[in-house]
Structure 1
């Protein structure tokens, strides 16, 4: 009686939110994607959990689904996703201790693909990468859904919805471009799909602006493509110089750079120059078919010869002797 008891209570607060990085940020279809999850105080005992994001339009958020093989987490702070073919989002978190205390989920990070996806695709009108300051642009979502949202990830690392800065009309986001329009854009569907992504850049110098007219989507190998140059007050310019990866490739009186059959070697950065003014450069992506067209022709010739041989063989067998 009269004694005192000292009780000690310690609280282990949830660690801070980890930072997720993805590499590469732009995807070559079928390539591997490396995820890295960085905690504020790295030490032994952490286990890392990896998720893919599934768009949840009804709650204006994402559902997180565990990636294969990490239901108990991984000791490594990195995770490789193999064979990714389309735009995708990822999240990580970490945990340690007994009982386990988990960090918050990281902010979602995305790997983007420019390839059109039948279940969800984004088209841009006007169909080009570069635009003038204050231009009106429409971003339209198409695919297997009746509900859509357009997402934007700007050059400062901020992600937002079309409804944050413009109004969605059905499946289309209509916007006027200003300096903050420089961003990657993509669609997310009510059925949980991601579309292809597109880069949009804005020429913000009102009095000195010139833009390269180049396709916003990848060009398929073997197709033709035309690149142009525009000044704000003139639709068509003549005597335009064109550069590929900073190398001058055309400097005559023509208005456009025409490539009759695109190959992988044509992929790269392009810019134009007119009357001493140079545009910004934009990347033109080339989508390679699984087999060259010449290989398809060769295969067809072989199949035709085999069919002729088999037909001749059957005729010979059926001739009465």
Structure 2
């Protein structure tokens, strides 16, 4: 592992303190370039990143296939590969249902292994809890995959505290993946404390508000016609974006005083949530990757953290973090 990039523990799994999210390498955030994405993954590994995260529905499997290509050969030994199952999707639309029945879990794992070109998944997340299937059945099937050697560690995503407890009673849960950032702090009251009580690490996705907390995107026109942020992010609509951008801009003088970018400041705040937190900002560009990684070693004092939170109070953000349609699939 490279000097300067510390490690953290997700349960008993040791990984670098910051991972790389694979949501945007195959679709969602505008035009993609496979060669550029692979170069970014390779650069991440060279800089000491270990956790590479994706899901079977990202690009309808294309993200897994691309990561598989990037990790071919000796690169595989450098990576802790995480992928997710559970969201049912058809065509180019967003997910329209969830499944967690045992048969589906087994099939989804085999399909992901095939696309990734791997003999095992290091960390396998249930992307969304299926309300129609007892969590005990889903986790029981995951435990069988661990016994079979197809999966090393298991995780949950967007799971409520009570569900986490029930799941952990069946088989140890290594990590909880969920949205956590300056403007998405809903897990702090109950979910994060429950995970910590049980020794479960936390993997914040969208720690930069899908890029918006960098201050880089100034208008809805910055997002293409089919960009996920334009289609499924209420906080980034023409109505809400100007108000929310004004909040983000309040971070600018704090970042300037610290000699960092706004995005680095926002991401460093996530890192300071605890030593069991491993954010996975996604990017397909090497320059953005390198900028993000600098946040993993940025120290903020208690006063600086308080100033950041005062500048961008989550309760003042306009719009929900997902559409109502998507929120119905989160475990609340």
TM range (shorter): under 0.3
Higher Cα Rg, which structure: 1
Q: TM-score, normalization: structure 2?
A: 0.23
Q: TM-score, normalization: structure 1?
A: 0.24
Q: Name the structure where strand makes up a greater proportion of residues.
A: 1
Q: Name the structure where helix makes up a greater proportion of residues.
A: 2
Higher RCO, Cα 8 Å, sep 6+: 2
